Structure 1
Amino acid sequence: MKFYAIVCVAVLALSSVTGCNHTKQPAVSGLCPISYTVMSDTSGNFTVQIGSEDIKDFSLAAELEAGVSRKSCTAHALCPFVKYVSEYPYKFKMIIKKDCEFVIEPVVTPKSSSIKLDESADRSGQKLYFEDWRKYNNQELVFVGVNKEEPMGYFFKTNEMKVCADGAPNAYHIDNKGLDYLANAGYSKDVNKRKSWWRNVLAVGENGADAHVQQEGRYAGFFVSKTALVDKNKDNREVSKYVDARTVPYLVFPGNFFKIKGSGTLGDFGVAYNYKTKKYAPFIVAEIGPAKANLGEVSIRLAEQLGGVAVNPRNGAGVPSGDTLYIVFPFTHSSPKWPLSEKDITQQVSQYLEVLGGIDNIVKKVPVDD
């Protein structure tokens, strides 16, 4: 789910939009339906006038694409969004695409004009603000930023680390000799039950019924292991479409966590720090795991960068021990989200760390658990 991306609109006659279920959207008493008027003059100037006084304090800026003329709209989909903005303090912009279709996107704090960096300044003593956000599976999530109004992201700490091999070309083998057990791809040893493998883990073969097996090259005989983050220009059966757990530091979002408004989306950036090894590593959010899983599942590469040795996805051996701090910067993904190099990921994360005064400043000031 990409909660911030395309917000589906029911306009005037409540015409349905493919992929949206308006019946599940929460109602906001006294605000629905919300009327707004889009206006654009010949010089390209624009305004978006929202009819309800109640929502004018929610920092909804607006941008128009070319060719939009005056149009009056009724947006039922804005109702739950307004409730969301009131609960989660990020700034957003409303991009009018055409007629009454619109997209809601966040204004990413590190790129905001409100933050001016003096490259010659020493920010190692940067003051940080923390605010409790919520819990997930009894795990505390805390906002972090350089001011109270615009949190840059959130963090969590855990001493639980699981290792994901998804995306690696040798992750799963038909003879169960891959980096991970076939069972973790939902693939049964029973030939008669092999139609029930998990299609979000293994790519589908050309016949549409079997999992695709690589036919040539170094990893012939291995399945094509998928990740949720992909290169949209590649075929589903190409290994290079997915994010290789051996070479890319990535974080896995549990399925239920991914659905939480404010958690972020695929392609977002973050940084992890292990308190025992004192090593840190930038990462990208690249995979969605089991719905009810705990936070703390990472790629082989991320576990190694945090101090892991001979990391084994099958049994979790070799991962660094002790607590690990994870800081996620929601809505910071690039466009396109993938492919990126490890250098690209590091450069993206570096700018956010700079705003926060560096990893040492963050670690020093993160609240200590009671």
Structure 2
Amino acid sequence: MSNLIRQQTFKRLSTVGTTHIWQLKAALDASAFFYESALSVDADGAPKAYGPRGLPGTLDNLGNAGHPGNWWGIVTDKQGNPIQQNGIPPQQPYRDYYISPTSLINLGYVETDVRRYADATVIPYLALPPAYFRVTGLKIGDLALVINGINGRYTFTIFADSKNKPTLGEVSICSAVALGAPADPRHGGLNKGIITLVFPGSGIGQGCIPDAQAINVAGRGHLKHFSNFRDKENKLLTAFPEYPLFAKALTDAGYIRRE
């Protein structure tokens, strides 16, 4: 029934996996888009995300970073072997742990410096499969608002990690905590209720990692602009009637409600 309501009120831009992507009717394809999904938790970019099997304190299973001969989630040397941190802060603060990269990087640091990457425990980010959003012009570093429709909590996030699989709802540990969701990359997450509003073209692009406060300020500004100049009829407030706390969270985040 809720999807039927959305079909009547909004434009369906595409479907990624089993998730419908929505926009305001008559919006350009490059305009803001939104969707509802499950939630999974990403540890990438955290200095303690991965390490050799048996190393205590790692945040995620090593298998999620690849395997010998094909490591996609950790930094390797020229021979393809994982680089282990030397324990000397701030470049490599946790001895024996691997270095986990993200798609968004800080160009001020070299590839073997953990500060080059978006730390999942500190930066509220989301991971998206960019190949499915080319029509929108989405780029690394763009901003989004993520709302937990079940409890009404929200966080502004940055698109910091790319993925290939057509699944949505993957966010950093920091984002999951802000949303009040189970934040363990191994066993955390939710099976529904995560609503994400993405603003293509909203970021400053590759090469810099804004902190959480900067992401919040910039994201709130884009949300206000969206409600002021794109959604003048407050259509988005009615998009998810199955989640009664969604509309309040949206206005709490800065969306302007017109009486």
**TM-score, reference length from structure 2:** 0.77
The residue correspondences of 1:23-42 to structure 2 (distance < 5 A) are none
Give the secondary structure class of the aligned counterpart of 1:261: helix
Q: Larger Rg: 1 or 2?
A: 1
Structure 1 position 277 matched with structure 2 position 151: yes
Structure 1 residue 229: Cα displacement = 0.9
From 53, 60, 78, the counterpart of 1:175: 53
Structure 1 residue 367: Cα displacement = 5.3
Structure with the larger RCO, 1 or 2 (CA within 8 Å, 6+ apart): 2
Task: Measure the CA separation in 1 of the matches of 2:206 and 2:66.
Answer: 30
Structure 2 gaps, min length 5 = 1-8, 229-233, 243-259
Task: Measure the CA separation in 2 of the matches of 1:322 and 1:362.
Answer: 22
From 183, 186, 193, the counterpart of 1:323: 193
Contact 2:202 2:222 in 1 (8 A): no
Deviations 1:298-345 (A, max 9, x none): 111111111124x211122xx356411101101111155522111111
Structure 1 residue 150: Cα displacement = 8.5
Equivalent residue letter for 1:266: I
The share of aligned pairs that are identical, in percent, is: 25
Answer 1 or 2: which has greater helix percent: 2
Give the secondary structure class of the aligned counterpart of 2:195: strand
Contact 1:255 1:292 in 2 (8 A): no
Structure 1 position 214 matched with structure 2 position 85: yes
Q: How many residues align?
A: 224
Structure 1 position 223 matched with structure 2 position 117: no
Task: Measure the CA separation in 2 of the matches of 1:279 and 1:185.
Answer: 30
Give the secondary structure class of the aligned counterpart of 1:161: strand
Task: Measure the CA separation in 1 of the matches of 2:184 and 2:27.
Answer: 41
Contact 1:306 1:320 in 2 (8 A): no
Equivalent residue letter for 1:143: Q
Aligned to 1:4: none
The residue correspondences of 1:131-210 to structure 2 (distance < 5 A) are 131-144=11-24, 148=27, 152-158=31-37, 160-176=38-54, 177=56, 178-187=58-67, 194=68, 196-198=69-71, 200-205=72-77, 207-210=78-81
Structure 1 gaps, min length 5 = 1-128, 188-193
Aligned to 1:302: 175
Task: Measure the CA separation in 1 of the matches of 2:60 and 2:102.
Answer: 14
**TM-score, reference length from structure 1:** 0.55
Structure 1 residue 364: Cα displacement = 2.3
Give the secondary structure class of the aligned counterpart of 1:171: coil
Contact 2:74 2:82 in 1 (8 A): yes
